[in-house]
Chain A
Amino acid sequence: MLEEFAEENIEPLAIGAWILGTGGGGDPYISTLNLRRLYAEGTRVDLMDPMALDDDDMVAVVSKMGAPLVGQERLGDPVHLARAVEVMEDYIGKRFRAIMSVEIGGSNALSSFLAAAVLNRPVVNADAMGRAYPEAQMTSFAIGNLPMFPLSLVDVRDNEVIVTRAASWKWMERISRKVCTEVGSTAATCKAPRTGREVKEWGIHDTVTKAVELGKAVLDARRRHADPVEAILEHEGGKSLFRGKVIDVARETTGGFLRGRTVIEGIDGDRGARMELAFQNEWAVAFRDGEAVAMTPDLLCLLDTVSGSAIGTESVRYGQRVTVVALPAPRLLTTPAGIAAVGPRAFGYDIDFRSVFP
């Protein structure tokens, strides 16, 4: 089943994806500009229901990899994402029926659309995270123990690399990260090809629609002068955890990741309390007065209390009026295998996962 992805859905997709990015995944601004320009030239992308894939269809899983700061200077061009897909097709000798993004959170939500627009293929209405995570082994495909190779990586200078084999998802992450750093800390990648059957079984389904609808709910609430945060909670069945003002932000970069914490002082019903949000690219664990009250894989989102816009771990700053909300994680991530891959211990917090959603 194919349906044309309408131009007026681009903005809601970007807004929803930025919220589902849970603080990471990169601001979708540049990707949004790229997609708008492609649409302005008359290109259209079809959205495909994952269940409409045949078992032996091949699906390309694309993502931009690297440091957001580099992406602000070396502006991404859709042709390179498309090239990563072509390189993979040449290598495996098969044609991809459709393209999907590895993560729906942040700018990569649009990566599949950019490649698909250039190659004239549909985008699968699914991703492999249902949010954003920093590393390759933190995907639904890794949780499903699917093969993690081959991987193609394309640099703008005609450097094209294929990682033909890797011993584990972690090794694939280490090797591809190294190559990415070597070509300037930004690259277009096509991850291990998936069959239609694998996407049907292990993909997180309908996340493109979910991001678009979420973005529309925010825009609609703003238009009606209603509370956008409330609209997000209602739409996603989420929970408001804390409302307050950012009083401290501490960041450090270790092991190539942005780690740190944000301290929020309560207002309104939370007056007198404090919430500390620990992050590693994305928001990972929320502590209320020292006690862990919410954690990955539940989606922790920091929202501007007035506009409902997501606030990233790179852009949060003192004085912002914020609401911390939790949105339910895709069910797969809360299974024992999911928690092992993306639970608090995967981020170095020695605590048992407890969902805020009973």
Chain B
Amino acid sequence: MKRIGIDVGGTNTDAVLLDGGRIVAAIKVPTTQDVLSGVKAALSHVIDAPASAGIAVDAVMIGTTHFTNAVVERARLERVAAIRVALPTGGSLPPMCDWPRDLYEAVDPMIFMVHGGHEYDGSPLVPMNTDEIRDAAMRIRDAGITSIAISATFSPLTTECEVKAAEIVRSVIPNAKITLSHTLGRIGLLERENVAILNAALQSLGRTTVQAFADALSDVGIKAPFYLTQNDGTVALADVAAANPVHSFASGPTNSMRGAAFLTGMENAMVVDVGGTTSDIGCLVGGFPREANNIVHIGGVRTLFRMPDLLPIALGGGTIINPQTGEIGPRSAGYRILTEALVFGGSTLTTSDIAVAAGIVEMGDRDRVKGLDHDLVRNTLARIGDMVADNFDRMKTSADDVPLIAVGGGAFLIPDKVAGASEVVRVENAGVANALGAAMAQVSGEVDQVFSGMSRDEALSAAETGARNAAVASGAAYDSLKTLEIEDIPIAYLPGGARRVRVRVIGDIAFQ
């Protein structure tokens, strides 16, 4: 199976062509302002490489930061209507009540709260008021809004209200793009609704981005189906992914972790990805990033959904060292490192200068750091080691020593010995780990819901069926599906044997 993986980062666009497990060609080009010419350039490079001659590509996997950037920059978002089916509860806290003002204004929402929703045991809170929904839909239509987020109380448990409300909206606005909160988020109405609204605000961008990628592929003569990489380290068919841009928010760090697994052949390890400004520490479980089970803020918005559990630390190749106190960061020279760091002729002391002075890595002009105080160099390295060890230990889930894989441009900062790590693993081709991670991705499906009024076995089996269906919809071959994770937690205070069940299945890409 021949695949191309592309990772569009803030600085570089990486591409690799894989034939089975063999890297046929790899390239790193600067990310361009319009993104697409960079993607096209990278694509052309790998398919025109001599080693690629005669290879027909089966699939292209693209990881992009497009959608995260749009939220962070408050740009390219579309106007949204939010309908919450929850009255008489929650009336004092309307949708988006906890958003940063600038993002709220960028989305410029129309907000509706209507009667309905469910209880934790699946019984209706109050009968859903369909007239209120129809009325809202007509006002939304009259305002010319086509992207709509719908949320309802306990919808991860009982989807009925959201589904019915969507039918009514669609009968009024046939071309509506509707995001239902239960398809994205977990228990926690505000956080789940926030995810749905972010997703709704990215609908147009999702579609235009996917169309642009499709054009880029056809321009360079690739006819294979293409996929976008997802937060959980898998891919989804581009059309499915376009409808759920929020699932691509963390594809960068996720792809680098998956690439680390691929390059080392390790499925259970910790990964530290050292960039220019920060490092991310994550945990590979069965070859996939462990998911966060807590609140994640995106562009200042509280969310709770499928995101990798990452611990960012203010340590990168451009992190600035205070020469007097020896303090590390948190500021970084960032992309200006190539002009500001001592070894590159600048006047700012960075972690890279320390590493060069210590002889750990070669870059720039080593003579320019010859005069650095030996104690400063030694102490800074020791402190970097402590920083890494401390945060590494924080992310570990067991007291046993586990391997630590170091990737990213600043991986040289990770010492060879880290307390709590059985070994520190370094890899070749670490520079294109992200693109590799994208290229090797499989397809997954997940269910994370509260089930009640049924036996534990029935709940587990219902969840597994749901996860399998979701995976097939995202492009997985049914026969290849395997259950990756299954977890159930009984819930405090609730009668009826309520339990939260989370099942994740994974499988190979189904080819037409």
Contacts and interface: CB of A to CB of B under 8 A. Distances in A.
A77 B389 CA distance: 45
Interface stretch (A13-21, A245-253, A285-293, A343-351): A245-253
Closest 7 pairs (CB-CB, A-B): A67-B493, A75-B90, A258-B492, A74-B89, A156-B88, A77-B92, A72-B188
A73 B395 contact: no
Contacts of B492: 67-69, 251, 253, 256-258, 314
A73 B97 contact: no
Interface in B377-411: 393-397, 399
28 contacts: A30-B93, A30-B190, A33-B93, A34-B93, A67-B493, A68-B492, A69-B494, A72-B188, A73-B153, A73-B189, A74-B90, A74-B125, A74-B189, A76-B92, A77-B91, A77-B93, A79-B92, A156-B88, A184-B119, A247-B399, A256-B493, A257-B492, A258-B493, A314-B492, A318-B397, A319-B393, A319-B396, A320-B394
A81 to B, nearest CB: 11
B495 interface: yes
A131 interface: no
B473 interface: no
Interface of B: 86, 88-93, 97-98, 119-120, 125-126, 153-154, 187-190, 293-294, 393-397, 399, 489-495
Interface in A245-278: 245, 247, 251-253, 256-258, 265
Contacts of B91: 77, 79
B490 to A, nearest CB: 5
A75 to B, nearest CB: 4
B90 A77 contact: yes
A156 to B, nearest CB: 4
B158 to A, nearest CB: 11
A195 interface: no
A318 B88 CA distance: 38
A171 to B, nearest CB: 20
Contact of B88 (A157, A245, A317): A157
A37 B97 contact: yes
Contacts of B126: 157
Contacts of A256: 492-493
Given A37-B97, A68-B492, 4 more contacts: A68-B493, A70-B120, A75-B90, A251-B489
Contacts of B125: 74, 156-157, 184
A122 interface: no
Contacts of B491: 67, 69, 253
A295 to B, nearest CB: 22
A332 B399 CA distance: 42
Nearest to A259: B492
A185 B190 CA distance: 19
A234 B20 CA distance: 62
Given A67-B492, A258-B492, A37 B93 contact: yes
Interface in A62-104: 66-70, 72-79
B120 A69 contact: yes
Interface in A301-346: 314-315, 317-321
Contacts, number: 104
Nearest to B394: A319
Contacts of B98: 33
Contacts of A321: 394
A73 B187 contact: yes
A116 to B, nearest CB: 15
Contact of A69 (B97, B187, B294, B495): B187
A168 interface: no
Nearest to A313: B492
Which one of A66, A77, A78, A252 has the highest number of Cβ atoms from chain B below 10 Å of its Cβ? A77
How many A residues touch the partner, as a band?
Answer: 35 or more
A75 B394 CA distance: 33
A74 B153 contact: yes
B36 to A, nearest CB: 41
Contacts of B395: 319
B397 A75 contact: no
B459 to A, nearest CB: 16
A258 B492 CA distance: 6
Nearest to B293: A317
B93 A75 contact: yes
A252 B88 contact: no
B93 A184 contact: no
A181 interface: yes
B197 to A, nearest CB: 16
Nearest to A118: B92
Contacts of B153: 73-74
Nearest to B87: A156
A253 B97 contact: no
B414 to A, nearest CB: 19
A293 B351 CA distance: 45
A322 B494 CA distance: 29
Contact of B86 (A34, A75, A258, A318): A75
Contacts of B97: 33, 37
A319 B309 CA distance: 13
Nearest to B294: A315
A257 B188 CA distance: 20
B187 A181 contact: no
Contact of B494 (A67, A77, A79, A265): A67
Contacts of B396: 319
Nearest to B491: A69
Nearest to B152: A73
A252 B89 contact: no
Nearest to B399: A247
A317 B311 CA distance: 14
A75 B190 contact: yes
Contacts of B397: 318-319
Contacts of A67: 120, 491-494
B399 to A, nearest CB: 6
B493 A69 contact: yes
A41 to B, nearest CB: 10
A321 B154 CA distance: 33
B112 to A, nearest CB: 16
Contacts of A184: 119-120, 125
Contacts of B490: 252-253
Nearest to B155: A73
A343 to B, nearest CB: 24
A62 to B, nearest CB: 16
A251 B88 CA distance: 33
A73 B154 contact: yes
A76 B89 CA distance: 7
Interface in A7-34: 30, 33-34
A157 B89 CA distance: 9
